[in-house]
Amino acid sequence: MTRQKIQIKARNVVVDAEKETQPVTRQKIQIKARRYDILSVALRILVRVSATITAALAFYLIGYIMIMGISHLHPSLFAWKYTSDNVSVTPALVNTVLMTALSLGIAVPLGTFAAIYLAEYARRGSKLVKIIRMATDTLAGIPSIIYGLFGMLFFVIRLGWGYSLMAGGCTLAVMVLPLVIRTAEEALLSVPDAYREGSFGLGAGRLRTVFRVVLPPAIPGILAGVILATGRIVGETAALIFTAGTLAKIPSSPMDSARTLSVHMYNLSSEGLHIDQTYATAVVLIALVFLINALSEWAAKKMTGVGHG
């Protein structure tokens, strides 16, 4: 009987202790829940405020440029030949398209194939891959004027190309190459390994697996990098002043000097005589960027089959 009484008392003591600790535990849980609720609400407000500010700034900048520039879009601004009177943007517009096509034509194949090697052929975690990634990340952060000085010293002077469309295109290709490599590599690495394993299990080789299985799902990510590279090419000024020159004329060969829209805007604004035409040129530049982005998105949908419904 004595043992039973001792056991009963011990159980009662444990039950009493649990009853005493339960309210404390519930209070702690409630306090933590309130803290998390306050933190989540604060983060939600911060995210919405940040998104609102970003959107407002974008709409303000685009709207301001449109208001200041659309009224000055006259037919003479789109004359085929540039003169000091009409300050036509047509030669600069054509040169911008040519410069973009030349730069992307060099950078996109090289960057994509380099990314394929890093993601599919190189041993993951190797020192070579780490060195290449560190080099591309470092090159992506170098100011564009450094690339301009490199292009002037190497393409313009060393190779004897002079101020030309080719020198500017190669310089911009070198400048956007790290961006294309990193975005293409991340797009390839985002493809699940199950795709590769299934292809290898069916007897396909590595080359066929890469181009038929891995590359199609990665195309939207690769095109996202191409769009970013296009934006940087179209808006570049410093590197082109040192390599492509400022001649406002449609080049008859890749070795002729060429002025792009961004360089054209810089020259007009620095002269201070055609500020209205500078805003009009900015409108044309924004429209060109929107058009290129729309075409890239359309191409991505076509390549991935999304646009077939």
pLDDT of 32: 60
Region of residue 79 (left: phi > 0; alpha: psi -120 to 50; beta: else) = beta
Most confident among 10-14, 80-84, 151-155, 277-281 (mean pLDDT): 151-155
Tell me: pLDDT of 6 over 70: no
Q: Say if residue 44 is exposed, middle or buried (CB neighbours under 10 Å; 0-12, 13-18, 19+).
A: exposed
Going from N- to C-terminal start, the domains of the chain cover: 2-71, 76-308
pLDDT of 231: 86
The 10s digit of each residue's pLDDT in 65-110 is 888 888 888 888 888 888 877 888 888 889 999 999 999 999 999 9
pLDDT of 176: 93
Q: How many CA atoms lie within 13 A of 207 on its CB side?
A: 0
Residue 261 contacts residue 93 (beta carbons within 8 Å): yes
The 10s digit of each residue's pLDDT in 232-275 is 898 888 889 999 888 888 888 889 888 888 888 888 888 777 88
Maximum CA pair distance of the chain? 116
Rounded CA gap, 199 and 255, in Å?
46
Residue 172 contacts residue 95 (beta carbons within 8 Å): no
Q: Tell me how long the chain is.
A: 309
Q: What is the pTM of this model?
A: 0.78
CATH class of domain segment(s) 76-308:
mainly alpha
- Residue 14's pLDDT band, with cuts at 50, 70 and 90, is very low
Rounded CA gap, 152 and 162, in Å?
8
Please choose, from the candidates 132, 175, 150, the residue with its C-alpha nearest in 3D space to the C-alpha of residue 242: 150
Average pLDDT of every residue of the chain: 82
Residue reference for tokens 């080049």: 251
Please choose, from the candidates 238, 258, 265, the residue with its C-alpha nearest in 3D space to the C-alpha of residue 98: 258
